[in-house]
Amino acid sequence: MAAKAGTGPKTRTRTTTERRAFERLGLYTAADFVVHLPLRYEDETHVTPVAQALPGQWGLFEGEITDSQSHYQPRRELQATLQDPTGRLNLRWLHVYSGQQARVSAGRRVRARGEVRAGYRGLEIIHPLLTEPDGALPDTLTPIYPTTQGLPQASLRRAISHALNEADLSDTLPPAIRTHYDLAEFAPSLRLLHHPTPDISLELLARHEHPAWRRIKFDEILAQQLALAQARAVRRAQRAWPLAADSPLVNRLMDSLPFSPTNAQQRAVGQIRADLAQPHPMHRLLQGDVGSGKTLVAALAVAQALAAGVQVAVMAPTEILAEQLWRKLSEWLEPLGETPVWLAGNMAAGARREALKAIATGQARLAVGTQALIQDKVVFDRLGLVISDEQHRFGVNQRLALNRKGDQSGLHPHQLSMSATPIPRTLAMAFFADMDVSVLDEMPPGRSPVQTRLFDDRRREDVLTHVARAVRDGEQAYWVCPLVEESEALQLQTAVDTWEHLCQSLPDLRIGLMHGRLPHQEKSSTMQAFRAGQLDVLVSTTVVEVGVDVPNASLMIIEHAERFGLAQLHQLRGRVGRGPRPSICVLLYQSPLSAIARERLRAMFETSDGFEIARRDLAQRGPGELLGLRQSGQALLRFADLNTDGGLLDQAREAAVWMTRDYPDQAQAHQKRWMAGAAQYLRI
């Protein structure tokens, strides 16, 4: 919530440790505390007879301690027995502290709360929470909040209860909007979620389906949609260099191509060309499946910018992808008189100084590189267009830093973000409502479909035989592994071990090794050798995940495929099928598979549609991974679930337009309540 420090609810003095713990949770002001909502609830409103205790259920039990003793098996643990008129319940502590045994000495009467489980002596509770039996029972369910190390639930409950009395809980939604969308009032909903009465269904609360939860989720989505609309309006009010759409350099580049762009590429080029000609910054997302031709679309945008006299920065998340872009742009633009400059983290000092000087003076009009482009020493003369490839692979702050390199003299750069991970509809509506989106929904001619096959690791020799046969027929293969060095915890096959094993098993083949820890020059020369057909098999980590284009490579083997995410598997599969040969992607997995891993592999086997893959990935991992937001620490949607709340998203988008037009003051207050401190991350 709020980004600046404060004391939070002021009704009691906080220790430094407690204050810091609250701040780790993003809790500064009373407004922050009141929307820090429970994860779940425990029912302490009544005592359960021991005879009614059931395994897997929480309960509060009251009775007398009939025996208590320490055991060593092999470490010390404390065991006690609680008895009420209906039966006996075992209590057990695996970690014993000084004075604990005195609290459960025989003859004492206690209340014990916890989850009942089946133990070797019968039903038991491990580490029960004990209270004195003379206190009154609460009349509401006990909330369990998200917390952090060193911050007990009791402290959170006190702070939130104080905040509910201090914070402004006035309703920011006009009655007309509440009535139209059948929404509960804000303050009663909030109080109910913090202190629900025992007659309310725990199942409805747990599934976030109670009307109070519906109101909170609607408010959160609405605030985000209002902020996105405001970000779009602010951007429209900013100034940028208008880059003439009618560019001879663009025409010359088009004429020099040995192929014709697809209809989808031509459509995207037209949209971007029109955007760049505007006097306000373009903010466009170019998305398309792997191999759909995004680089060409970006190159034509670069040509339009260069022809208009501004600089362009192209940033990619890995050196391999950045170098691939640099090579491709050089291939297309150098014959037309434009030479891209390269900037990466491991350049020699002299080459770096020359590159920085050329960029600062404007001599270098196109800079291509990695995150090295956002370092403080990099200063542009007249940056008018920034392009981020695989934009979700960057942290939010990295994308912001590149964009701000072009904030000069009241002008802001145009921005093109590219992603080979198609964005599902709900994700696009929720997080890209302030952006224009171009979609490459067709493949260039010559791309062959990729067959996906699943092999248990025990059939490794069959895979080796197939690889040898394919290579001897003139094909090339990738063999991808998840780690470079052995991990005792995961016991994964490593790239180095795999390379050694393949060299021994297939001594007549030319097998290369590449991973992120190799020096840049060695990685570059290895990749170039594979590209030139001087290597038959390339054993690699996931540094080949994006951007690598070797048309003759028609076989992809992925070790421990169960360890990869869906989007990553789809990206790796996209490295083959780029030439005329039939292509195969083999997913080697190790049994037994977890339920999630089984779903991932089934999805890869069932579909090659990037949008369907992205939809399933969203369902498994949530939006943070797909958007690159996890690194920012900003969970822009904490309560709503894009997989189940699509209907609320549609309503909130409609309500955002309504409120902005008819209730601007309340719209501003609503956005401030929910989006304070997060708005800057919408400029991505």
Task: Between 497 and 51, name the one with better pLDDT.
Answer: 51
Q: How far apart are CA 650 and CA 32, in angstroms?
A: 26
- Do residues 186 and 219 lie in contact, with contact meaning Cβ atoms separated by under 8 Å? yes
Roughly what angle, to the nearest 10 degrees, separates helices 610-621 and 566-573? 150
Q: In this structure, what token pair is assigned to residue 436?
A: 């224009």
pLDDT of residue 676: 64
Q: How far apart are CA 655 and CA 364, in angstroms?
A: 47
pLDDT of residue 427: 66
Residue type, 322: A
Q: How far apart are CA 408 and CA 403, in angstroms?
A: 11
C-beta neighbour count of 361 within 10 angstroms = 10
* Closest C-alpha to 639, from 210, 180, 303: 210
Q: In this structure, what token pair is assigned to residue 437?
A: 């989106």
Q: Please state whether 263 falls in left (phi above 0), alpha (psi between -120 and 50) or beta.
A: alpha
Task: Give residue 515's pLDDT band: very low, low, confident or very high (50, 70, 90).
Answer: confident
pLDDT of residue 557: 95
- Do residues 289 and 440 lie in contact, with contact meaning Cβ atoms separated by under 8 Å? yes
Q: Please name every residue paired with 556 in a beta bridge, in sequence order, or none if there are none.
A: 478, 585
pLDDT of residue 493: 62
User: CA triplet 164, 166, 167: central angle to 5 degrees?
Assistant: 70
- List domains and CATH numbers for the chain: 16-41+141-207 (no CATH), 46-131 (2.40.50.140), 248-440 (3.40.50.300), 450-607 (3.40.50.300)
pLDDT of residue 563: 87
Task: Write phi, then psi, for 514 (nearest 5 degrees).
Answer: -145, 135
DSSP 587-639: EEE-SSPPHHHHHHHHHHHH---HHHHHHHHHHHH-HHHHHT-GGGT--S-SS
pLDDT of residue 432: 67
* Each residue's pLDDT tens digit, 440-468: 888 777 677 789 999 999 999 999 999 99
Q: How far apart are CA 212 and CA 107, in angstroms?
A: 45
User: CA triplet 658, 33, 430: central angle to 5 degrees?
Assistant: 35
Q: How far apart are CA 440 and CA 199, in angstroms?
A: 53
Residue 633 has pLDDT above 60, yes or no: no
Q: What is the mean pLDDT of residues 523-540?
A: 91
* Closest C-alpha to 85, from 108, 105, 62: 62
* Each residue's pLDDT tens digit, 339-378: 999 998 878 889 999 999 999 999 999 999 988 999 889 9
Q: How far apart are CA 321 and CA 327, in angstroms?
A: 10
* Each residue's pLDDT tens digit, 59-117: 999 999 999 988 877 778 899 999 999 999 999 998 877 777 888 899 999 999 999 99
Task: Between 420 and 622, name the one with better pLDDT.
Answer: 420
- Do residues 448 and 583 lie in contact, with contact meaning Cβ atoms separated by under 8 Å? yes
Task: Give residue 565's pLDDT band: very low, low, confident or very high (50, 70, 90).
Answer: confident
Q: Please name every residue paired with 82 in a beta bridge, in sequence order, or none if there are none.
A: 65, 89
Number of residues that make up the chain? 684
Say what the pTM is: 0.69
Task: Give residue 53's pLDDT band: very low, low, confident or very high (50, 70, 90).
Answer: very high
Q: What is the mean pLDDT of residues 248-261?
A: 92
pLDDT of residue 486: 56
Q: How far apart are CA 363 and CA 341, in angstroms?
A: 10
> Range with the lowest mean pLDDT among 139-148, 275-284, 430-439, 483-492?
483-492
Q: In this structure, what token pair is assigned to residue 535?
A: 């290597």
DSSP E strand boundaries for 87-217: 87-93, 109-119, 122-126, 129-131, 142-144
Q: What is the mean pLDDT of residues 118-147?
A: 90
HSE-up of residue 139 (Cα within 13 Å, Cβ side) = 0
Q: What is the mean pLDDT of residues 393-409?
A: 74
Q: How far apart are CA 92 and CA 117, in angstroms?
A: 11
pLDDT of residue 240: 93
Average pLDDT for the chain: 86
Q: In this structure, what token pair is assigned to residue 374?
A: 């956002």
Residue 420 has pLDDT above 80, yes or no: no
> Range with the lowest mean pLDDT among 6-15, 388-397, 512-521?
6-15
